[in-house]
Amino acid sequence: MAPAPRLPPGLHFDPGFLRPPERAAIRAWLETLHPIREQRYPTSRPPPDGESQRWLLRPVWWIGGWQFACLDYYHPPHTHHRVVCAEPMPPILASVVARISARARAQFRGADLPAGWQLNTALVNFYGDWVHPDGRREDSARVGDHRDYEPGPVASISLGERALFQFVSQRREVVKQQWLGDGSLLLFGGGYWKDKVFHRVQRVEDTGLRFSHPRYGDLRFETRRVNLTFRYVPTDHLVRYRDLPPAARADVAPYVDALATHSPYWRGEQE
């Protein structure tokens, strides 16, 4: 049997990265959040030709910088007015980020670790099922092929059920796959893993692990996995909510109102 082809460097996986006290503290912090559900496009302007308005698959929360879907995502050369300053990292995440950063700086050099790089934003994704009033369940525990365009290495921490994470080529052939378990760390960077291939979450197991269940109108969301993806957004690309152009500020105002209901930080941004 021929040996498997050697994969490019830039991929690091640690199945037991989170220490038990860290895992417990992060789960306790997650229980304090009130994730919001966003629509893909602004309600005040029609979607692009050929597209229709739709909800994002999952509730989300951001730390450090919020990338509202309706402002589009950070994607060079489109970098301005895309990332809105958000709540700072809580102490438990700051300490975890320090450990991740030490590993990244030991592994990446030169262009793979741009000047000023720091893991200053985090997307908190909630994976699970939408439960309708009639009991019908809609599985939203997946994410399609995409790339993360923020510069430098990206780190992913998983909690809860195992997820099948895959890197795929432009022809959508699986290059590498890995089950991400509770407390694991996936760190990737470099030209190949960031720029040449896509990644996706193909599915999430369901063995009965659950988080709290937020409600969205008549819908209830049952979370069975939470993922925190840490990235670097250059500080001059972060913008305060009040400094957004008027049209963009109007687009995200309903979301900020929802965030401000439970967050002193976002209430302060409205003043």
pLDDT band at 55 (very low <50, low <70, confident <90, very high): very high
Q: What is the CATH number of the domain that holds 107?
A: 2.60.120.590
Q: Could you give the CA distance from residue 28 to residue 196 in angstroms, rounded to a whole number?
A: 37
Choose among 156, 162, 74, 166: nearest CA to 122.
156
Choose among 177, 185, 211: nearest CA to 119.
185
- Say if residue 168's pLDDT is above 60: yes
How many C-beta neighbours within 10 Å does residue 229 have?
Answer: 19
Structural domain contains residue 3: no
Structural domain contains residue 78: yes
pLDDT band at 7 (very low <50, low <70, confident <90, very high): confident
Q: Which of 3-7, 30-34, 49-53, 154-158 has the highest mean pLDDT?
A: 154-158
Kindly report whether the peptide bond that precedes residue 8 is cis, defined as omega within 30 degrees of 0: no
Percent of the chain at pLDDT exceeding 70? 98
Span 174-197, mean pLDDT? 96
Structural domain contains residue 6: no
Structural domain contains residue 5: no
Structural domain contains residue 102: yes
CA–CA–CA angle 256, 259, 263 (5° rounding): 125
Residue 128, pLDDT score: 95
Please give the backbone phi and psi of residue 128, each rounded to the nearest 5 degrees, phi first: 175, -145
Q: Could you give the CA distance from residue 156 to residue 185 in angstroms, rounded to a whole number?
A: 6
Residue 261, pLDDT score: 95
* Mean of pLDDT over the chain: 94
Residues 6+ positions from 154 with CB-CB distance below 8 Å: 148, 187, 188, 189, 194, 229, 230, 231
Span 10-14, mean pLDDT? 96
pLDDT band at 257 (very low <50, low <70, confident <90, very high): very high
- Say if residue 28's pLDDT is above 60: yes
Q: The domain containing residue 196 runs over which residues? A: 11-269
Q: Which residue has the tokens 């509770």?
A: 182
Span 16-24, mean pLDDT? 97
Residue 184, pLDDT score: 98
Long-range contacts of 53-60 (CB under 8 A, 24+ apart): 57/140, 57/142, 57/143, 58/125, 58/126, 58/127, 58/128, 58/140, 58/143, 59/35, 59/126, 59/214, 59/216, 59/221, 59/223, 60/35, 60/36, 60/123, 60/124, 60/125, 60/126
- Say if residue 82's pLDDT is above 90: yes
Name the domain count of the chain: 1
- Say if residue 210's pLDDT is above 90: no
Residues 6+ positions from 118 with CB-CB distance below 8 Å: 101, 232
pTM for the predicted model, two decimal places: 0.95
Give the DSSP H/E element, type plus range, for residue 23.
Answer: helix 20-30
Span 15-24, mean pLDDT? 97
Structural domain contains residue 94: yes
Structural domain contains residue 2: no
Residue 5, pLDDT score: 64
Span 69-79, mean pLDDT? 94
Stronger pLDDT, 2 or 120, i.e. the higher one: 120
